[in-house]
């Protein structure tokens, strides 16, 4: 048994003071008790953040797509995608594992304790299947195990090069030729996930342009129970125009009319949706996964969050291409984008509470858990694993803040310098910014040097 004693523990929107938590050897919470003795209590704990969208290999190119062409109309998502393809065609499994391990360590350092890996780098550099068709997925699971983060591996069905188009040559590492190929990949991925007790799997398709409509429906019917289903949707205006031309409907409109959307569907980005689509998503209880640092970096656009929240829409956050890795930054960018276009500062607030910081932490946690295939409505409960981001009470700004203002101070006015560390399954995986495995950084540096991209 192990005991943690916190000066404050955030349980949904309420701070509990002087809390003792008893953890068994498997990291499961056995008891949560309040005390007034004031002895040995320090720091503040909030739940570990859920990173609901990650392309791990893209971490190797963070910051490299910013030397822009001076010609007009050459610096959009599609030009960035070409740079991403060039990187994807050079990484071998060992290098992928080194990159992902470093990335996952950095996620932990920033307060994430679980990641949904939207994985489509399936084949070798020539586009041929590995002997183990889940070779790269298995490397991602291994990376998560080395770093100590929980992972939901989502092998992605990628079949087409666009609506009605064959795959492009540069997409050769991503492609499953048909539905049966993808199901075989999914089965192999489940075996890979079984190698790590903190790994699970989900299913997903790259995008509506990436899979035939017949197979989108087929895969949706294949999904069972609370298995999460992830898909990129409505990220780019061109994608919507092409969808209308090919299917006669907008992307989210088509999804809502052809599959039974529910709380287990996670629509990544959904940047360009209209009022009718907002209502369809909200009514179905499907979740949108917002990645503000990447969406801003790519110039995607601004998601209509205020309208979505007015219909009780559900959202979580992800870091996507990993141009940014701090969950607090994702929340702030999401909020400030709305403030700039609505001229209203109460983005997340509702008729019950205007405590934006607590609401944002709660929404990103509960809906983030759903993206991993887990139902958890309360942050810390007896019988659950203890995962937490610990805020250092000695940080000057934090030290003098009341519980009334603490959540908002953490979300809006702090950064990694205020963190004490990150706990996963009752163990410190990051303490004072340090990870126990010093080889992670050395291996990552060696891989970047070999890739010669930077």
Alpha carbon distance 178, 398 (integer Å)? 54
Alpha carbon distance 206, 200 (integer Å)? 19
Alpha carbon distance 111, 368 (integer Å)? 14
Alpha carbon distance 337, 83 (integer Å)? 27
Is 43 a catalytic site residue? Answer: no
Alpha carbon distance 42, 44 (integer Å)? 7
Residue 125 phi/psi, 5-degree rounding, is -60, -30
| Phi-psi sector, 70: left (phi>0), alpha (psi -120 to 50), beta | alpha
In angstroms, what is the C-alpha Rg of the chain? 21
Q: At CB < 8 A and 24+ separation, what contacts does 15-23 make?
A: 15/44, 15/403, 15/406, 15/407, 17/403, 21/380, 21/386, 23/386, 23/426
Contacts of residue 309, defined as CB under 8 A and 6 or more positions apart, other chains included, come to 347, 348, 350
Name which of 52, 80, 86 is nearest 68 in CA terms.
80
Task: Choose the catalytic residue: 269, 272, 322, 395.
Answer: 269
Residue 59 phi/psi, 5-degree rounding, is -60, -30
Task: Choose the catalytic residue: 98, 320, 355, 387.
Answer: 320
Name which of 367, 387, 319 is nearest 100 in CA terms.
319
- Tally of CA atoms within 13 A in the half-sphere of 79 that contains its CB: 16
Is 320 a catalytic site residue? Answer: yes
Tokens coding 7 = 């000066």
SS (H, E, C) 206-275: EEHHHCCHHHHHHHHHHCCCCCCEEEEECCCHHHHHHHHHHHCCCHHHHHHHHCCCCCCEEEEECCCCCH
Name which of 135, 98, 95 is nearest 119 in CA terms.
135
Alpha carbon distance 94, 243 (integer Å)? 37
Query: Parallel, antiparallel, or unpaired: how do β-strands 434-435 and 150-157 relate?
Result: unpaired
Q: Which residues are catalytic?
A: 269, 320
């Amino acid at each position: 048994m192990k005991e943690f004693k916190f000066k404050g523990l955030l349980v949904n929107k309420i701070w509990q003071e002087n809390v003792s938590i008893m953890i068994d050897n498997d990291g499961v919470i056995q008891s949560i008790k309040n005390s007034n003795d004031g002895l040995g209590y320090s720091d503040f704990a909030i739940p570990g953040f859920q990173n609901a969208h990650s392309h791990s290999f893209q971490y190797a190119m963070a910051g490299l797509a910013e030397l822009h062409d001076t010609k007009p109309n050459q610096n959009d998502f599609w030009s960035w995608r070409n740079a991403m393809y060039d990187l994807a065609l050079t990484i071998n499994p060992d290098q992928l594992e080194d990159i992902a391990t470093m990335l996952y360590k950095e996620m932990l350092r920033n307060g994430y304790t679980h990641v949904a890996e939207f994985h489509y780098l399936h084949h070798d550099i020539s586009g041929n299947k590995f002997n183990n068709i889940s070779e790269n997925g298995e490397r991602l699971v291994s990376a998560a195990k080395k770093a100590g983060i929980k992972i939901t591996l989502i092998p992605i069905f990628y079949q087409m090069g666009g609506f009605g188009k064959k795959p492009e040559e540069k997409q050769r590492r991503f492609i499953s030729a048909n539905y049966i190929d993808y199901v075989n990949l999914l089965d192999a991925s489940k075996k890979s996930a079984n190698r790590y007790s903190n790994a699970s799997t989900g299913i997903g398709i790259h995008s509506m342009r990436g899979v035939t409509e017949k197979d989108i429906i087929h895969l949706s019917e294949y999904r069972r129970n609370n298995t999460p289903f992830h898909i990129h949707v409505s990220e780019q205006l061109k994608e919507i125009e092409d969808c209308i031309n090919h299917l006669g409907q907008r992307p989210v409109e088509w999804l809502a009319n052809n599959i039974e959307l529910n709380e287990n569907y996670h629509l990544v980005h959904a940047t360009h949706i209209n009022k009718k689509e907002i209502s369809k998503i909200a009514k179905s209880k499907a979740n949108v996964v917002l990645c503000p640092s990447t969406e801003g970096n790519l110039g995607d656009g601004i998601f209509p969050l205020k309208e979505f929240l007015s219909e009780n829409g559900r959202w979580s956050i992800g870091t996507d291409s990993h141009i940014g890795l701090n969950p607090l930054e994702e929340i702030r960018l999401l909020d400030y984008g709305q403030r700039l276009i609505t001229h209203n500062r109460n983005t997340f607030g509702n008729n019950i509470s205007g405590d934006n910081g607590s609401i944002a932490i709660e929404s990103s946690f509960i809906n983030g858990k759903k993206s991993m295939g887990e139902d958890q409505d309360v942050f810390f409960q007896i019988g659950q694993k203890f995962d937490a981001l610990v805020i250092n009470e000695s940080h000057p700004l934090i030290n003098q803040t009341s519980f009334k203002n603490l959540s908002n101070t953490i979300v809006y006015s702090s950064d990694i310098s205020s963190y004490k560390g990150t706990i996963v399954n009752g163990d410190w995986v990051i303490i004072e910014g340090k990870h126990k495995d010093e080889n992670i950084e050395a291996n990552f540096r060696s891989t970047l040097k070999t890739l010669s991209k930077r």
